């Protein structure tokens, strides 16, 4: 198998200031999704870069989902659930928290910038917090630019 | 009496006394430096059992598989298995007991004092990638021989990296029958300070990704690492799951990297660092580099080490209210 000796591509976000990141957000049904809903009905403005996927609980998130989202072209991933102690299923978010520690540190270790993966707690009454969170996540992802880790031109072995 | 004879003697006794139905141990493989698992049901066959510094497979894998097969048969009496066990096998069995994949009472642990296993990649490198026809160990020397060459190498230098950092390989977390014979060779011990992990963390994200990509660019996705791992026991692996299909089946780099990331992540808080994956890899990839990061995090963040006690719950099956929150994103 040939070695990939292609030079690192120029980061396109520097060349293209209009670049907008695509962020996949996994929100728990009981808190964060309702928080996003509240942000909406309160007419709060936040960047339109997130694609929301509703899940029953942050404990439902398999690290595989996060890696899959990144592999399939997301520039960043956000997972948000109920605050510790407020889980609809009592302890789903506590179990999730342990998984996420390993996931976040491991992705950082292999070179997927920590700015791309975010874990947060947002309750159903925190519409404003949700809007601010999205703004912050988008800001962070913009700092590191488009994710090229799994892109074809970066992965091409021929 | 040698360790090998001692293992045979114990096995013969266990089988003829009817204590166990099956002995799982090591037999001579087809290559001079390879062993293969053997399954012995008859006391007359114990001569097939061998012991040498090439017994790299982790037998816990086969123990779990055999018990699973036996449990599928209705109204059969519960199978009891005697296992030739070195420290990494014992640690893996401890983890499997914790995860309810094994019952402690189904196994009889034949504890063998291990003095480190040889690294096949290092042997090949020493032999200049020439074919090895004979690998012989005497004391602290290893003799490598092939067509037209015979070289002696220092045994310390061809041990597997995970054997070097193995502390006290003679004390096993679980044991029933003890092999009292000892090897006259004592392996060196290197304190594991995870300096390689710490060094890697100092690189920039781009460099780290380049290292990761360069390592697994050569992966042929044979799944040997997964199949040799005692902790990989899902009846349907995500790699072969068709609904949904998470990744393609080819060696396209994107799929290879995706497979390896998720495979490694599945070892969080579970990897016993037995080196079975690295030993099984036909491309000699540095697979341990990545599972070690998880072990480092487990130790560093949760003060958790695998393979110590069969009574606790697995790390990720439990939680504490005070678990770390430093990685959580706050909006302000």
Is pLDDT above 70 for A9?
no
Q: How many angstroms separate the CA atoms of A51 and B268, rounded? A: 28
Average pLDDT, chain B: 94
Q: How many domains does chain A have?
A: 1
pLDDT for position A147 = 93
The answer to whether residue A4 is domain-embedded is: no
The answer to whether residue A8 is domain-embedded is: no
The answer to whether residue A79 is domain-embedded is: yes
Tens-digit pLDDT profile for residues A76-89: 999 999 999 999 99
Task: Tell me the CATH number at A61.
Answer: 3.40.50
Please state the rounded mean pLDDT for residues B288-298. 95
Peptide bond into B244 cis (omega under 30): yes
The answer to whether residue A5 is domain-embedded is: no
The answer to whether residue A12 is domain-embedded is: no
Q: How many angstroms separate the CA atoms of A21 and A134, rounded? A: 12
Distances (CA, A) of B1 to B4, B15, B86, B180: 8, 20, 19, 10
Of the CA atoms within 13 Å of residue B134, those in its CB half-sphere come to 12
Shortest CB distance from B253 goes to which of A109, A133, A155?
Answer: A155
| Predicted-assembly ipTM surpassing the 0.90 threshold | yes
The answer to whether residue A149 is domain-embedded is: no
Say if the Cβ atoms of A121 and B323 lie within 8 Å.
Answer: no
Question: What is the 8-class DSSP label of residue B106?
Answer: G
A106 contacts A113 by C-beta, under 8 angstroms = no
Say if the Cβ atoms of B253 and A119 lie within 8 Å.
Answer: no
Q: Which residues of A touch B214 (CB under 8 A)?
A: 3-4
Residue A109, domain extent:
22-144
Tell me if the pTM is above 0.90.
yes
Beta bridge partners of B84: B110
B24 contacts B82 by C-beta, under 8 angstroms = yes
The answer to whether residue A35 is domain-embedded is: yes
Say if the Cβ atoms of A110 and B332 lie within 8 Å.
Answer: no
Cβ count near B229 (within 10 Å): 26
Q: Give the residue on B whose Cα is nearest the Cα of A6.
A: B210
Is pLDDT above 80 for B279?
yes
The answer to whether residue A66 is domain-embedded is: yes
């Amino acid at each position: 198998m040939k070695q990939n000796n292609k030079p690192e591509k120029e980061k396109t976000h520097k060349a293209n200031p209009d670049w907008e990141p695509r962020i996949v957000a996994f929100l728990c049904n009981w808190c964060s999704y309702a928080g996003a809903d509240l942000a909406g009905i309160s007419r709060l403005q936040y960047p339109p870069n997130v694609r929301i996927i509703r899940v029953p609980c942050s404990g439902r998130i398999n690290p595989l989902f996060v890696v899959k989202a990144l592999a399939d072209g997301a520039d960043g991933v956000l997972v948000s659930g109920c605050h510790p102690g407020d889980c609809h299923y009592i302890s789903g978010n506590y179990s999730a928290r342990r998984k996420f520690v390993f996931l976040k540190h491991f992705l950082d270790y292999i070179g997927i910038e920590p700015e791309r993966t975010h874990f947060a707690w947002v309750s159903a009454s925190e519409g404003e917090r949700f809007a601010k969170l999205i703004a912050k996540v988008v800001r962070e992802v913009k700092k590191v630019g488009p994710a090229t880790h799994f892109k074809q031109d970066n992965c091409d072995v021929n | 009496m040698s360790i090998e004879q001692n293992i045979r003697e114990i096995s013969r006794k266990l089988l003829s006394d009817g204590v166990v139905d099956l002995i799982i141990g090591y037999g001579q493989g087809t290559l001079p430096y390879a062993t293969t698992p053997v399954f012995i049901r008859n006391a007359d066959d114990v001569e097939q059992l061998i012991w040498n510094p090439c017994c790299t497979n982790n037998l816990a894998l086969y123990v779990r598989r055999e018990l699973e097969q036996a449990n599928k048969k209705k109204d059969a009496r519960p199978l009891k298995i005697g296992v030739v066990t070195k420290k990494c096998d014992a640690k893996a069995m401890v983890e499997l007991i914790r995860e309810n994949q094994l019952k402690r009472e189904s196994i009889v642990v034949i504890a063998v004092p291990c003095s480190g296993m040889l690294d096949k990649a290092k042997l090949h490198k020493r032999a200049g990638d020439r074919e090895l026809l004979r690998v012989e160990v005497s004391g602290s020397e290893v003799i490598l021989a092939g067509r037209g060459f015979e070289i002696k190498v220092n045994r310390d230098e061809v041990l597997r990296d995970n054997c070097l950092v193995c502390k006290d390989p003679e004390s096993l977390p679980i044991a029933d029958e003890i092999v009292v014979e000892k090897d006259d060779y004592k392996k060196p011990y290197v304190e594991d300070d995870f300096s390689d992990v710490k060094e890697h963390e100092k690189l920039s994200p781009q460099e780290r990704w380049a290292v990761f990509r360069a390592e697994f660019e050569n992966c042929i996705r044979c799944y040997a690492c997964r199949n040799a791992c005692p902790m990989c026991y899902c009846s349907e692996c995500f790699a072969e799951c068709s609904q949904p299909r998470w990744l393609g089946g080819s060696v396209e780099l994107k799929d290879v990297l995706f497979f390896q990331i998720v495979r490694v992540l599945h070892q969080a808080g579970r990897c016993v660092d037995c080196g079975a994956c690295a030993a099984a890899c036909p491309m000699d990839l540095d697979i341990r580099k990545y599972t070690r990061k998880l072990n480092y995090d487990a130790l560093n963040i949760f003060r958790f080490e695998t393979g110590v006690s069969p009574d606790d719950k697995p790390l990720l099956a439990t939680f504490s209210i005070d678990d770390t929150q430093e990685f959580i994103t706050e909006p302000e």
